[in-house]
Structure 1
């Protein structure tokens, strides 16, 4: 069984101000960790440039075109309080979209068992018509919809274990019975959504909020009682992971206490469901994680699990 790693140097050209947590060093840390000899069997590809048609699977064309048009020739443009564009942002965001679609292509056609698209900026806060929370285009949502439109997947499950709730993914699929969105996250915390009572029009939104100070035991219980059974019962044709690693105990933007083995465990549990439901098909997409050591070690544990290591 083979695992694909998708990266692209454009991710490093999305610049943010000094001290901003979503910085190019995040990708450098992940890439350095995955250069270890333990990962020598990874298949490695450069992300394709995403297309406007791919973006508009989840975002209206006028919104997508407005993002492209806002690209500065120099300096930084502020989109919201913590989301900024540099001259390299659009290229990075489009390669993130392209990498997500490429991962779906490779997995759905059986060329690889699973894939990890390690790109930035992240995407799960991006709503259909709103860039926010460091995010411009919702890569995980686009991956799910692309799998449906391009490869005929009837049902796609998205599991989001980023410490911040994926309000964008929830909003995009709120009234869509064909996509299950399941999330564990800290509350109260940015962006303020993700209560257990938020279930969507068809009951296909599943939120399991955690509290500041919660660690491995509470996280695993939430996964095993609230999220994993729902994903298994949904019998998806593909599982997409919004793989944020900011629930790690070292992360400066949150207050959960997960450790690297927790991400490996969650990955293995999803792989068990995928093996039963969809021939093992998993596409994982990097989201948050802002302590470089916690991020790199957690991403490495996640990818090692995908490799069935």
Structure 2
């Protein structure tokens, strides 16, 4: 078995205003990290276009229409203070959806052991009817619903270790008892949601607020005390990861002070759970991470674990 790595040049055409943290340079830094890695055992895949059928699993038609109608024919537009679209943004967003649904298909079809989608714009802040936080569509929630509805799974878990709460994923899956969504995040911080009492319609959401400057030791405690036991109780048939790397100590938007070793440890712990309950089946997608060097190093650490697990189990 092997690891699938999804990329597409369309994601370089999602151009944000000068000075915006979610910028093309993020992918360029990640691509440079890939160039320095041994990817001989990795299946490199150009992400396909997602479909409206995929998106409609979690978003209403009105949301798709609003995002499509907002896409500019020239220049760029601001959907809110943080979220922008350029002429290439809509296609990039559909590539992100397609990467995740195809990754699910390949992992569940036994073509690869696990997959990582290095795509942008990210997705975990997009709510049912609201693009926000740099995000247009809820890529990982779409992937979860695709696994449930198209593949007939009964239990899919999502773990989000981005420094910001995955409010979009929570909103999209609030009423979906076949999913378990676990988010660890700095609090207080954008977007202001993610309190421990937010548990979903059927107790299917677990939020783990972390204090600023708590560091990697608190991450590991949270995983050992909450995340791993909850996953073991849920027994997922597929594990999805919202891999945001903005909890890194050098990131300009937050200060949880993790490092590459912490991201590798978390990835390893999640792969261990996947080995126990779902034959090692993991699909991960890029979310945040805004210091370019830290993003590149952390993404590499995450991917190296996936590759090792994909190759050796």
Tell me which interval the TM-score lies in, with the shorter structure as reference length.
over 0.9
Q: Which residue of 1 aligns with 2:254?
A: 254
Does structure 1 residue 40 correspond to structure 2 residue 70? no
Deviation at 1:38, TM superposition (A): 2.5
Identify the residue that residue 241 of structure 2 maps to in structure 1. 241
Report the equivalent of 2:109. Answer: 109
**CA displacement at 1:94 relative to structure 2:** 0.3
Q: Give the corresponding residue for 1:287.
A: 287
Cα distance in 2 for partners of 1:108, 1:42 equals 17
Separation (CA, whole Å) in 2 of partners of 1:203 and 1:58 = 19
Q: Map of 1:292-307 to 2, 5 A cutoff? A: 292-307=292-307
Determine the structure 1 residue equivalent to 2:267.
267
1:25 counterpart SS class: helix
Give me the whole-angstrom Cα distance separating, in 1, the residues matched to 2:124 and 2:11.
16
Deviations 1:22-70 (A, max 9, x none): 0001011111101224233211000001111111111001211221121
Q: Determine if contact 1:164/1:189 at 8 Å carries over to the other structure.
A: yes
Looking at structure 2, the residues matched to 110 and 35 of structure 1 have their Cα atoms a distance apart, in angstroms, of 27
After the TM superposition, list the runs of 4 or more consecutive aligned residues in structure 1 that deviate by more than 3 angstroms.
Answer: none
Determine the structure 2 residue equivalent to 1:217.
Answer: 217
Runs of at least 5 residues in structure 1 that lack an aligned partner in the other structure: none
Counterpart CA distance in 1 for 2:308 and 2:265 is 11
Question: Which residue of the partner structure matches residue 125 of structure 1?
Answer: 125
Work out the number of aligned pairs and report it: 309
TM-score, normalised by the number of residues in structure 1: 0.98
Which has the higher mean CA deviation after the structures are superposed, 168-177 or 31-40? 31-40
The 5 Å alignment of 1:99-248 reads 99-248=99-248
**2:24 — aligned with what?**
24
The TM-score, its normalising length taken from structure 2, stands at 0.97
**Structure 2 unaligned residues grouped into runs of 5+:** none
Instruction: Determine the C-alpha separation between the residues in 2 that align with 1:63 and 1:257.
Output: 36
Cα RMSD between the aligned structures?
0.9
> Residues 103-122 of structure 1, C-alpha deviation per residue, up to 9 Å, x if partnerless?
10110101000000000000
Q: Are positions 1:14 and 2:21 aligned together?
A: no
Distance 1:284 1:36 in 2: 21
Q: Secondary structure at the match of 1:308?
A: helix
